């Protein structure tokens, strides 16, 4: 059975280990680089991006590029899973990206399909606003 990530190098194994330990979270290349450096095993930025791109093309990661101001982030997809049955909420203040599975949003999706003939791709749907944590700080 082929393991996620195809051909293994020490750096790729370290990167994949970090990503799998953060399953369900959105990780940036900068966070990954900082973690590896803190662990005493720094990996060059070009190597990190090359590995991330390879893992995306292999279906191991999903890449989110939300806007021109923020860095792309990556999510580990266990067993080649899909990130498609939920919406994404992006906080404009702290930058966090949340996955939200909500019956009301699914009803909105159904309404748009039924009444407007438009099928939403939830994996690319991002709603922008301010999260509860940031609102509390205000």
The CATH number assigned to the domain holding 91 equals 3.30.1490.190
Containing structural domain, residue 41: 1-82
**Same domain assignment for residues 69 and 105:** no
Cα 78 to the center of its chain, rounded Å = 12
pTM above 0.75, yes or no: no
**Same domain assignment for residues 40 and 98:** no
pLDDT at 120: 87
Residue 16 confidence (pLDDT) above 50: yes
**Same domain assignment for residues 10 and 70:** yes
pLDDT at 124: 73
Q: Sheet harboring 73-76: ordered strands across? A: 27-28, 73-76, 61-64
Task: Give the chain's domain count.
Answer: 2
99 phi and psi, to 5 degrees? Answer: -95, 130
**Same domain assignment for residues 89 and 46:** no
Least confident of 8-17, 31-40, 49-58, 119-128: 119-128
Instruction: Write down which residue in 35, 53, 82 finishes a domain.
Output: 82
**Where does the pLDDT of residue 34 fall: very low under 50, low under 70, confident under 90, or very high at 90 and above?**
very high
**Same domain assignment for residues 68 and 88:** no
**CATH, residue 57:** 1.10.10.10
């Amino acid at each position: 059975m082929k393991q996620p990530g195809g051909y293994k190098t020490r750096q790729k194994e370290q990167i994949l280990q970090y990503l799998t330990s953060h399953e369900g979270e959105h990780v940036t290349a900068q966070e990954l680089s900082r973690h590896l450096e803190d662990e005493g095993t720094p990996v060059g930025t070009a190597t990190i991006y090359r590995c991330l791109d390879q893992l995306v093309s292999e279906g191991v990661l999903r890449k989110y590029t939300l806007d021109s101001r923020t860095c792309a982030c990556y999510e580990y997809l266990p067993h080649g899973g899909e990130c498609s049955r939920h919406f994404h909420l992006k906080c404009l203040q702290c930058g966090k990206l949340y996955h939200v599975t909500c019956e009301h949003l699914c009803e909105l999706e159904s309404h748009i399909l039924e009444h407007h003939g438009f099928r939403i791709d939830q994996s690319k749907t991002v709603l922008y606003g301010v999260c509860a944590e940031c609102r509390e700080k205000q």
